[in-house]
Amino acid sequence: MATADMWRLVARLRVTTALVSNERPRGETAALDDAMDRYARGDDAAFAIVYDGIAPRLYAFALRRTRDRERAEDVVQQTMLHIHRARGSFTTGAEALPWAYAIARRALIDQHRRGSREVLVSDDDAMAHDLVASLDAPADDVAAARELAARIQVELDKLPETQRVAFELIKQEGLSVREAAQALGTTVAAVKLRAHRAYEALRQALALPRRAP
Amino acid sequence: MTPSDDLRAKVLAAAASTPSPTRAAWRLRTAVLSGLAALGALGFFFGKGGTRRGDRSDAALVGTAVLWAIVAASVTWLGLKPARSMLGRSRATLLGVLVGTAPALAATALLVALAEGPAVDPRMHLACGVLTVAQGVLPLAALAVLRRGGDPLYPVVTGASLGVAAGAWSALMAHLRCSYVGVPHVLLAHVLPVLVLAGVGAVVGATLLRVRVRGS
């Protein structure tokens, strides 16, 4: 497949490991932060809104790392319950999403340390089924997308942890650079550098041309 | 790729069945704990005699105290979470606090109080140092309890920076309380305890501050 076609396919199919920016509209974040703020003030009903705004993102994030639905759901559950327990500490004007990602990342690390080995392929078929089901595309394109997604994931897994996570948060989770910096506890400049290095490493590994600005 | 509806129901039910403190309760708890820690530290300070001028000049006493207060306030401000954030300062900032505080205290003390005082019995270094550490333990404990289980990023560094903040205030009170001005005494009994409290804070951070995620 030509490289231009590969980029087009990635963008069109929005595969799970897409190399395209997926930034969220600001209003969505503001609504989530507002719901979290109301929950912190004591509006118990707002937790459902917080859950709906955060859980699907965390689930996708965790599933990419674990390749295991059960473990991904475990991470989501623990993260959401931690947010529930700590709601009183939520600062007015703070952002809920970077906080949630930071907790989820910690949960993933702890889960890994508890000795549960990474299941690298167990749910690939199910994930691929989801992917195929979500696409309205010719079978050849879907197969190529799956192949490309697998290649990207393999290359992502080879990257240093700091670069990979920065790349995932910005390019796959759609966090802004500032939000990713918060979630990783580092500076905006450091996150930009890490994501750029990851992007360049992927580009070279996949032999893709530089994207036009 | 979305989590199951069962999970949603399970999480919402778990949250509903285990009430958690709201912001108002959290603020009340913070005020009470902070107040108790401040009262405890001040009670300790005045219980040990409060400010003693000794042979020190006013310039040495007040100058060092003002500069150390500025250092302590800055370190506390940097060590605590910034407004409008749930995740605290960057690791680089906190490491800067850890590395820079003790030299800053030492430098300002030496700058203002260059004169050597009378020779101090080395046992006084230890006694005064222990008092300085002890004075900082309560504020550190209060800060740690307030942030218990709340640092998903680098709890050890955060704990150490809280230890440095508590230590800087404790060093200030030690400076006001202790009339020995010898450079070795200031460094060993007033500044070194800041590093000791940073170490205690790091241990506290590793055990208390880290986000604990329970196994399913």
Give me the pLDDT at residue A126, please: 47
Q: Residue range A122-139: average pLDDT? A: 50
| A85, A89, A103: residue with CB nearest B152 | A103
Give me the pLDDT at residue B14, please: 94
Give me the pLDDT at residue A23, please: 52
C-alpha A39: how far from its chain's center? 24
Which residues numbered 135-164 in B keep a CB inside 8 Å of some CB on A?
A: 149-150, 152-154
> Does B122 reach chain A within 8 Å, measured CB to CB?
no
Contacts of B87 in chain A (CB under 8 A): 98-99, 102, 182-183, 185
Give the residue on B whose Cα is nearest the Cα of A110: B213
Give me the pLDDT at residue B116, please: 57
Q: What gap in Å lies between CA B50 and CA B64, rounded to an integer? A: 16
| A51 with B10: Cβ contact below 8 A | no
Could you tell me the pTM of the whole model?
0.79
Choice among A12-26, A190-204, B15-29, B85-99 with the minimum mean pLDDT: A12-26
| A87 with B150: Cβ contact below 8 A | no
Q: Which domains does chain A carry?
A: 3-116+139-206 (1.20.140.160)
pLDDT at residue A123 above 50?
no
Q: Between these two residues, A212 and A160, which has the higher pLDDT value? A: A160
A9 band by pLDDT with thresholds 50, 70 and 90: low
Give me the pLDDT at residue A3, please: 52
pLDDT at residue A2 above 60?
no
Q: What gap in Å lies between CA B81 and CA B37, rounded to an integer? A: 18
ipTM higher than threshold 0.85: no
Which residues numbered 134-173 in A keep a CB inside 8 Å of some CB on B?
A: none
Please name which of A21, A25, A45 lies closest in space to residue A35, comparing C-alpha atoms: A45
Give me the pLDDT at residue A103, please: 94
Q: Shortest Cα distance from A129 to chain B (angstroms)?
A: 10
Q: Shortest Cα distance from A145 to chain B (angstroms)?
A: 17
**DSSP state string for chain A:** --HHHHHHHHHHHT-TT-SS--PPPHHHHHHHHHHHHHHHHT-TTHHHHHHHHHHHHHHHHHHHHH--HHHHHHHHHHHHHHHHHTGGGPPTT--HHHHHHHHHHHHHHHHHHTTPPP-SSTTHHHHHHHHHHH--S-HHHHHHHHHHHHHHHHHHHHS-HHHHHHHIIIIIS---HHHHHHHHTS-HHHHHHHHHHHHHHHHHHTTPPPPP-
Contacts of A56 in chain B (CB under 8 A): 1-3
> Does A60 reach chain B within 8 Å, measured CB to CB?
yes
Half-sphere exposure of A172 (CA within 13 A, CB side): 27
Give me the pLDDT at residue A7, please: 53
- CB neighbourhood size of B80 (10 A): 17
| A55 with B3: Cβ contact below 8 A | yes
Please name which of A23, A16, A59, A22 lies closest in space to residue A151, comparing C-alpha atoms: A16
Give the residue on B whose Cα is nearest the Cα of A188: B90
| A79 with B213: Cβ contact below 8 A | yes
CB pairs under 8 A between A and B: 140
Give the residue on B whose Cα is nearest the Cα of A115: B215
> Does A113 reach chain B within 8 Å, measured CB to CB?
no
Positions of chain B with pLDDT under 70: 112-119, 213-216
**DSSP state string for B5-25:** HHHHHHHHHHHHHS----HHH
Give me the pLDDT at residue B55, please: 76
Which residues numbered 61-90 in B keep a CB inside 8 Å of some CB on A?
A: 81, 83-88, 90
